[in-house]
Amino acid sequence: MTDLLVPSLDHLRQAYAVTSQATQVTPLLESAALARETGAARVFIKPESLQWAGSFKVRGAYWRLKRLSPDEAKKGVVAYSSGNFAQGLAAAGQALGIPVTIVMPIDAPAAKRDATAGYGARVVLTDHGDRAREEIAAAKAREIAETEGLALLHPFDDPEIVAGQAGAGLEALDQLSAKDASADLLFCSVGGGGLIGGVRSPSTICRRSPRSSASSPKGSTAWARHWRVAASRPCRSARSRSATG
């Protein structure tokens, strides 16, 4: 027996029904220019940058906070993030009246620090010097969780966070069928994998599973991690180089 957690469609729908009391339905925009450019029949974009608190992160954060026990909700939560999860969690905490502490690296963008504090979160800054900024911020968050008895939330490695992000996928499936379309290729930005895991879940469960491709900006942490892993597997990268010519 494995302990693998596969959410049911009912669970994802329940998460969506609850989070959508607070989140916005982001549009599904069709781009004729991108279809021409790529040769695809139709191309749709779901701009989650229009979501409340600036990204999809608020979907998972809101649902995760709703799953806290009454005692956990009373004490509050702590998390580490350099940006979008910080804002999403802070906004969700403010809406639900749950105290939120966010540990951010000292070099996190000032606009994101200010927005997080603006949603009422306590912001604790860590100075990582020449050490890895995520490790230092994570260690500080663990320390605060222990000393203050707060629930420590992870930005993506948490089944309820992933279930909350699935709302973007459920929404997109409905919007696609309203436009008499279906997807056979999905591009999704990826960092730790919470978004792509969530967005793929409803279509996988409904057996309408498109091929998917994870994308991240060139030079980002996720991009660098991918190429470090690829470089440590010379046979595989040699094969993929020759496969792409």
Ligand X SMILES: Cc1ncc(COP(=O)(O)O)c(C=O)c1O
The answer to the question of residue 169 lying near ligand X (CB under 6 A) is: no
The answer to the question of residue 189 lying near ligand X (CB under 6 A) is: yes
CB of 186 to ligand X, least distance (A): 14
Among 99, 120, 159, 192, binds ligand X (CB under 6 A): 192
CB of 198 to ligand X, least distance (A): 8
Contacts (CB under 6 A) with ligand X, residues 144-163 = 156
CB of 196 to ligand X, least distance (A): 6
The answer to the question of residue 120 lying near ligand X (CB under 6 A) is: no
Considering only 19-27, 118-126, 187-195, 223-231, which stretch makes contact with ligand X by CB under 6 A? 187-195
CB 198 within 8 A of CB 168: yes
Cβ distance to ligand X smaller for residue 73 or 86: 86
The residues that touch ligand X, with contacts defined as CB under 6 A, are 55, 84-85, 156, 189-196
